[in-house]
Structure 1
Amino acid sequence: MGMLFQHIRSATSVLSVNGKKILIDPMLSAPGELPPVPFTRTLRRNPLTPLPVPLDFFEQMDAILLTHRHFDHLDKKALSILNKDLPVFCQPQDYTFLQTAGFSQVFAIEQSHEWCGIQMKRIKGRHAPGFTAKLLGPVSGFIISTPADGSIYIVGDCIYTPTIERTFREYQPNVAILNTPRAQMLLGTIITMTGEDIVRIANLSPDTKLIAVHMDAISHCTFKRKHLRAFLKERGMEHAAIIPDDGEVITL
């Protein structure tokens, strides 16, 4: 495979595929520039950690992929500095917002879309169980693939569901990016994947390389990298997932 994945911070990353750099879920604010996450147990401002790269790093992007538009996936800083002529790929529910925000090339992916030889397939997700899912709004994952490079599944802020399970069984992606911070709402509802889900997916799809992100930077995310590493080690599964540091580049 010829893809490169650079974890930036939280859910923000850059995927290099087929000669293109795709910026995923850009949250570009400096520490403390964003408010606390509503309906959670913490009043800490966000993000908690700095960007590992300068802002001019993001001038080198070729496209943007947005899984959903919560502020820890698309913030005001990103909206103010990113090139509005870049193509933006999103779920249909975010199309109007992105157009109104000034982006000139917005592509709402209902099922699939091809761009510059790169195939993108949208996978519907759920951000939380029950009523909380309606409160948080729609979220999607995307499988990005080329014949030469294989496939990478950007799962997004999706909890583990039968749809996620079917996706791994049917597509058997070469790589999957899992948001596993065990983010928690005020009454204890878990709204992202967890360490238990890494174990479940590793057993379900053992040939898929798992990369765990979205930790340490947002105040309602209760599982940090050190917690996940300890969790997997206790279960003898420390090799089940790569847990990159901010700024780390992974060859896929």
Structure 2
Amino acid sequence: MTNTPRDVVELWSVTKVYGGAGGSPVTALDNVTAGFPEGTFTAVMGPSGSGKSTLMHCAAGLDRPTDGKVIVAGTDLGGLDETALTLLRRERVGFVFQAFNLVSALTAEQNVALPLRLAGRRPEPARARAALAEVGLAERAGHRPSELSGGQQQRVAIARALITRPAVLFADEPTGALDSRTSREVLGLLRRLVDEHRQTVVMVTHDPVAAAYADRLLLLADGRVAGEMSGDLDAEAIAARLAHLEDAC
């Protein structure tokens, strides 16, 4: 009997409304319920303005929903004050963005260790080097960002996100600033993290080729879940499904 993996991140009837007082309110998410199982790779796509980034921000605890419930690694975020929420994000959530956000004056190893220093912990050099080795950059530990290619910088950013051993890694357009070959390297790395280490990855992307690396695709339109695809994802089928959604909007 196969055990169904538990959801590391759960959204229950999540609604997010921006604006109001003095302006017309905008509903970015409208009663969204979704789960992201442990050890899986989920891509999130949808037309412009569909709520992709808002979903990620609410799911990661970067933004609070107007209504509904978000649970990360068994913790209901709604019951946390800002300090507790910051601690949870620091310990249980990893982030990778399109912009690498590395500190230019620090080496790759120092950048990777930065989350531990910000948490008031003295990082062991071996731990940062092990994280760099995991992303194939052991020999680049002493290099600064200006001495690294874009793909190498993104891999340093991924190592930095993994240093706290997060329950979930959120990636927002992680290949948006990379060429196609380098994109494949970064996406292949994310795929291996899922397959070999059961890392849970949630990736917002506009690229069907990137989405095809995932186990599952969650489609959004007008702030609502508009469908899912799973199994052996195909970039052409994803592109066709997305085009159909855009035509309907």
**Higher helix proportion:** 2
TM-score (norm 1): 0.32
TM-score (norm 2): 0.32
Between the two structures, name the one with larger relative contact order (CA 8 Å, sep ≥ 6): 2
